[in-house]
Amino acid sequence: MKRTREGCFLDAGEAEQVVQRVKAGDQQAYAELIKAYERQMYTYCYGILSNREEAEDALQNIFITVYQNIGQYQAGTSFTSWLYKVAYHHSIDLIRKRKRWNRLIASWKEHQQQSPQPHETTLDELLMHLTAKERNLVMLKVVQQYSFEEIGQIMDMKPATLRKKYERLRKKLVQHNKTRRGISHDESYAK
């Protein structure tokens, strides 16, 4: 193993030995893999994402994914190639999410430029009572009309969980709107 300022570089044989130790549960071996490849992976992710913070976040997620899926790596193939493949797919997924987010923001800005109608003001007031994650879910489902599966990919959550959250949010907004208009919960059922 040759040491440089950037970290350790493993040749193919050394990488294979370290991977086998990781598969056997050696956490110190996993730390060796990170040291050996983190600089390369950061540079690669930064080249794709063109954003320092996103590249740093991607790097962490890539190494978590590699650790969780190390059993899928097959000896005899280049570990470095497998690692780059994981990094590539993760970075491309981030770009897709970023594009969806940018479309959502553009749509929202376009919506804001139009003169607000009375029902839009009410909607804005209702959305103010939600957390950022709740507003994000409502915007993706209602405004962008994404499926729960697509929203799950964007928010890294299970579609079934999102369906339940969305239903709770819908009920919360309906109840808040009734309360705001002066209709209590009991009165709404009496009518």
Tell me the CATH number at 121.
1.10.10.10
63 with 10, same domain: the answer is: yes
Q: Which amino acid is at 145?
A: Q
Judge whether 169 lies within some domain: yes
> Contact at 8 Å (CB) between 105 and 80?
no
Phi-psi region of 36 (alpha: psi -120 to 50; beta: other; left: phi over 0): alpha
Domain stop point among 44, 70, 97: 97
Tell me how many domains the chain contains. 2
With b for 16 or more beta-carbon neighbours within 10 A and e for fewer, the 24-34 pattern comes to eeeeebbebbb
* Residue 1 pLDDT exceeds 60: no
128 with 92, same domain: the answer is: no
d(CA 52, CA 163): 34
91 with 11, same domain: the answer is: yes
Mean pLDDT computed over 157-178: 86
Q: How confident is the model at residue 9 (pLDDT cuts 50, 70, 90)?
A: low
d(CA 118, CA 94): 37
Q: Where are the alpha helices (DSSP H) in the chain?
A: 12-23, 27-49, 52-68, 79-113, 118-127, 132-138, 148-155, 159-180, 185-190
The pTM for the full model equals 0.53
* Residue 188 pLDDT exceeds 60: no
Judge whether 110 lies within some domain: no
- The pLDDT, as a whole number, for residue 181 is 66
157 with 89, same domain: the answer is: no
Q: What 3-state DSSP class applies to 147?
A: coil
Mean pLDDT computed over 111-132: 62
158 with 77, same domain: the answer is: no
- The pLDDT, as a whole number, for residue 3 is 42
Judge whether 106 lies within some domain: no
20-71 confidence digits (pLDDT tens): 999 999 999 999 999 999 998 999 998 888 889 999 999 999 999 999 999 9
- N residues, the chain: 191
What share of the chain in percent tops pLDDT 90?
30
Q: How confident is the model at residue 112 (pLDDT cuts 50, 70, 90)?
A: low
d(CA 148, CA 146): 7
CATH code assigned at 80: 1.10.1740.10
56 with 83, same domain: the answer is: yes
92 with 123, same domain: the answer is: no
Residue 128: both structure tokens together = 């103010």
130 with 60, same domain: the answer is: no
Judge whether 102 lies within some domain: no
* Domain limits for position 163: 115-190
